[in-house]
Every structure is written in structure tokens, then in C-alpha cells.
Amino acid sequence: MLGPSARQRAPRGTRSAYVLRMATMLSIAGAAWPAVAAEGQWQAGGRAGVAWLSSARWGPAANAFLRYGLADPLDLDVDISGSLHPFQPDAKMAAGGGSELSTPWVIVFSPGLVYRWDVLQWMPYVGAGPGVYVSDGVAGRDAGAQFGVSGRVGLEYLLSRDVVLSMQASTFFVLSESPVPAPWVQLTAGASYAWGW
């Protein structure tokens, strides 16, 4: 005999059920990949991208962050962000309202809380917290520091147990008249290292 007869072959519906079972098993195996958000775990990293600042417009941006797992989905997040805005024709403005020209820059220190969802190796997250904003005096305003609030939303991809790729959109608002024109928006991408499993 050259092979099984048509009657001996598995019906088409049985083959489809087999493929469906295999896909389900692979999905479960992917879901079992170790999650990044874990109690007692540390994560440190950095990102680079662009920022938009009212009055100074677009410029390069960077941020560094350190996270500590308070619970499986919840992290304490300390974020330090900064941007320069040298590329617009009106970007070189008088620092502190004086006659000396400078390139507008902003630095923000923002601790906060981040909540993450585990979706296989992809992990969307949202976060918020207070912030301290320091500027050189953008748009002729006095240089100085100001309190404000920050919000962030992002997506992480677990490349391995220890290496995490991420993209983040952040927005920062000051609470009153200040050296920092609001809003300040950042779009960054980068990587981080996780330890303390």
C-alpha cells in the first residue's frame, strides 16, 4: 500500500482542532514567560527621543529611570528627563529676560507610581506623579524651578528575562506661572535592565 486510504485519514475538522490546540498551548507557554513587574524587583534604564515644549517647539530629549516593584503590577518609578530646543528660528532666547542668548533647556525630576499589565511579552503601563521642573528661562522667563505633575504611558517588550525594550510618551504640566511653558511632551524609546528576581 502506498498510504492510508481516504477513509483512514483524519477528517479536516480533526486537523483544525489539532492546530487550534497547538496554538493554544503555544500561547500559554508564551504567557508563562517571566513577567517584568514583580515585587522586590529593580529595573534601571534610559531612553532617547524628541520633546515638544510650548514656545520652543521640538528638540532632542533623553530620560533615565529607576523602578522598584512594590507589588506584581505596581512599581515605584523615579524618572529624570531633559530636553534641548535649539532647532527653531526663535529657539535662541534671552536667558532670564536678559540680553544673553541661550538654547532653551528643561530638566525634570519626577517620582511616581506605574501600573503595568502583563500581556504575553508585551507590557502596557500608565503612571503619574509630582515633579520638580528646572529651566534656564525659556521664552524670556526667569530661570528657576517649579513644582508640577507628570503623566506617562508606555509599552514594554520583554526581550529576555533581564533586558526590556520600551517606548514611552510623557507629559508634564506646571501648576502656576513658572519658567517652564506648559505643556512639555516627550516621546522616547530605549532599553532597561531588570534584576532582583
Q: Dihedral, CA atoms, 142, 144, 149, 155, nearest 10 degrees?
A: 100
State the architecture of 35-195 in CATH terms: Beta Barrel (2.40)
Residue spans per domain, the chain: 35-195
Per-residue pLDDT, 53 = 76
Please give the chain's pLDDT, 197 residues, in tens: 455 554 455 455 566 676 666 666 555 444 444 444 567 889 999 999 999 877 667 889 999 999 999 988 899 999 999 988 776 555 444 444 444 556 778 888 999 999 998 777 899 999 999 988 887 755 555 567 788 889 999 999 999 889 999 999 998 887 666 555 556 789 999 999 999 86
pTM: 0.70
Classify burial at 53, counting beta carbons within 10 Å of its beta carbon; exposed 0-12, middle 13-18, buried 19 or more. Answer: buried
